[in-house]
Structure 1
Amino acid sequence: MPLIPPHAEKIADWLLAGLELKSTLFHVGQYCGSWQASTAGHQQASFHVVLHGECWLHLPAKPGRNAMSVHLTQGDAVFLLHDMPHCLSPLPVAPPAGQESQRAGAMEALSSDESSTQQSLGLACGFFEFRSGLDDQLLGLIPDHIVARHNTAAPDGPRAVFDLIRAEVHRHPDAPSPLIARLTELLFFYALRSVAARDDIAPGLWSLMRRAEFAPLITAIIDTPAERWTTDRMADFVHMSRARFCKQFVEACGQPPAQFVTLVRMKVAAAMLRKGTTTPDAAEQVGYQSESAFAQAFKRVTGEQPGAYRRTRTQEPVASGLAVDEKQAALH
């Protein structure tokens, strides 16, 4: 497994801090024979955890990416960070174009019988909800899907989480444990950190961190958001002309440097507001002399006014993620 670049793990932890994520478990069961499963079409991010067996994840082509078919085995998980066409199937060949999100076959109750598990695929599936518009924008800095492998050389953390998921699954197969959703969130956090070591990462935060000339700049912006990070100053920091800096930054990150600085500042401010910091103090600590300008920027990024954001986050605990869908709607 590639080494995580310097600074990248620190940035991963910074990105994860304060992420307001809630996962909801919808289905635990198994498929046999011919089938095709998908959580597409529900306007939500989603996940699939392979409890036993093996299958293929099929993603159709989109601008900037060719169609993909990814082999998954027991212990692997896939996290789709927004609603996107996809399916899981037992076949290595993708379905015809336009049929990637169709569903076929019926999910059966999970069996602990070894002969049954050898001829079937066990899955735990569900959805993610990101509470803040800030989370959506931050996650826009990383690939739209993450595959977490059970056999990576990374440490035992992800494997231990998967073992806990399987233990919860088999405790009461007919009534899925709400802890599965919480454990899946933890697995997602490990997966998100692992993105830093990928060689095929899309434009975004990690591609910036893999560029030796940009990594110190990103770290400095995060550490000192109140500094006057103009485009000229950032270009000087990396010893580039303004035009070259802007071009290479957009190519690596997918957004202009000024927009990235605003996003970093709003994340830092959101953390302060959650701790009860007043709006004027939060504005000053991320470089805004005008409270109204800060409020406009915060609303634009998060979808909420800073005062309202602070009130709701300090009075109400973040959702625990222990929900299980009561309807058990047939999603597959």
Structure 2
Amino acid sequence: MPSQVDAFSAWLLDDLELKSTLFHVGQYCGNWQASTSGHRRASFHVVLHGECWLHLPARPGRAARSVALSAGDAVFLLADQPHCLSPDPLPPERGRESAREGTMTPLDTSGREAPGSLGLACGFFEFKSGLDDLMLGLLPDHVIARHDQPAQHGARQIFELIRAEALHDPQAPSPLIARLTGLLFVYTLRSLDGNEELAPCFWALMRRPALAPLVAAIVAEPGKRWTTASMAEFSHMSRARFCKLFAELSGQPPAQFVTLVRMKRAASMLSTGVSTPEAAEQVGYQSESAFAQAFKRVTGVQPGAWRRISGKNAEPAAHGALH
């Protein structure tokens, strides 16, 4: 039987097509600084060999961070944000967090790594279902996958494939690297329940035995009348303690999670031709008008428009989608 985390991963990725594209593959030596920020897209970095530091400047709700990375580690930035990788444990000067310095050279196919060099594969990814806002609302703004995490056993094999593809022809990086990195991201989701570096997000709820069953229940029955009082009772907590713990872990109120779960289910139903009134009823809305307002607030389009566009096998243009 799959764990609650695996089941939540499968639910989250259902109906989604993750598309990855490769930016560059190579190695840095000496003084350098790399970043994929400024492209208005989610991005990734996979450390092929060597060691470096990830620097993330402070932003609302999060202090500045400098994190050591080594071969086999991967960083997924789920939104465009200032950051950089460098060999220096100290962060760059303010205003230079996303600057790029140094020259990336091809990897050495002989496998001989220059002392102090760093092998890196970088690229971008997006979710092709138009549910970008839903995804970003459920996940943290960045995820660090450690090669030595027990849950990353399968991911380590994928990493070796990425490294082999990167070394195959350094002059013409294989497009398979991007596809393998997309698969690496799926494995990374499994490690989130044991990731101590996880920032507040709805996924963090899965790490608490007192709240994980509630998350699973809401996903299974989004149409149920989930009030703050009923969710607190389900979790065997007082309302005050439940709200405090939920907010500390996720950074948002319980009602927001319920809304995201309902809209994801509704979007899937509408894509198969289910009528708006039926979709509204199935996800717990007595008022079609209230449902339509909530759906547009989350996805950027009206339910009817979503159904029509999805029926034409086109990509819904969700508000805030990554381009």
Q: TM-score, normalised by structure 2?
A: 0.87
Residues 1:165 and 1:315: Cα distance change in structure 2 (over 3 Å): farther
Cα offset, 1:204, TM superposition: 2.2
Residue number in structure 2 paired with 1:136: 133
| Cα deviation, residue 218, structure 1 | 1.8
RMSD of the TM alignment (CA)? 2.6
Of 151, 171, 174, the residue aligned with 2:171 is: 174
CA distance, structure 1, for counterparts of residue 43 and residue 254 of structure 2 = 30
Q: 1:210 aligns with which of 207, 212, 221?
A: 207
CA distance in 2, matches of 1:169, 1:207: 33
> Aligned to 2:82, which of 48, 68, 85?
85
Q: Which residue of 2 aligns with 1:251?
A: 248
Task: Tell me whether 163-172 or 238-247 shows the greater mean CA deviation.
Answer: 238-247
Which runs of 5 or more structure 2 residues have no equivalent in the other structure? 317-323
**Range with bigger deviation, 45-54 or 92-101:** 92-101
| 1:50 and 2:47 are equivalent in the alignment | yes
Which secondary structure state, in structure 1, belongs to the residue aligned with residue 67 of structure 2?
A: strand
Counterpart residue type for residue 201 of structure 1: L
Closer/same/farther in 2, CA of residues 155 and 143 from structure 1, 3 Å limit: closer
1:207 aligned partner, one-letter code: A
Match of 1:151 among 126, 130, 148: 148
Given the superposition, is the C-alpha separation of residues 243 and 271 from structure 1 closer, same or farther in structure 2, using an over 3 Å criterion?
same
Alignment: residue pair count: 315
Tell me if structure 1 keeps the 8 A contact 2:15–2:129. Answer: no
Letter in 2 for 1:21: L
Partner of 2:222: 225
CA–CA distance in structure 1, aligned partners of residues 150 and 234 of structure 2: 35
The C-alpha deviation readout for 1:280-322, integer Å capped at 9, x for no partner, is 3322221223333322211111112223333444443879xxx
Deviation readout 1:10-30 (Å, 9 max, x if unpaired): 223322223343222111122
Separation in structure 2 between the aligned mates of residue 96 and residue 243 of structure 1, nearest angstrom? 42
Contact 2:41 2:79 in 1 (8 A): yes
Distance 1:117 1:152, change over 3 A: farther
Residue pair 1:130, 1:136 contacting (<8 A) in 2 also: no
Shift of 1:200: 3.8
103 and 27 in structure 1: CA distance in 2 versus 1, 3 angstrom threshold: same
1:147–1:202: structure 2 CA closer, same or farther, 3 Å change rule? closer
Correspondence for 1:267 among 247, 256, 264: 264
Provide TM-score, normalisation by structure 1: 0.84
Contact 1:133–1:301 (8 Å) recurs in 2: no
Aligned to 1:188: 185
Gaps of 5+ in 1: 320-332
Is the partner of 2:209 in helix, strand or coil? coil
Kindly indicate whether the alpha-carbon contact (under 8 Å) linking 2:140 and 2:203 is maintained by their aligned counterparts in 1: no
CA distance, structure 2, for counterparts of residue 229 and residue 105 of structure 1: 53
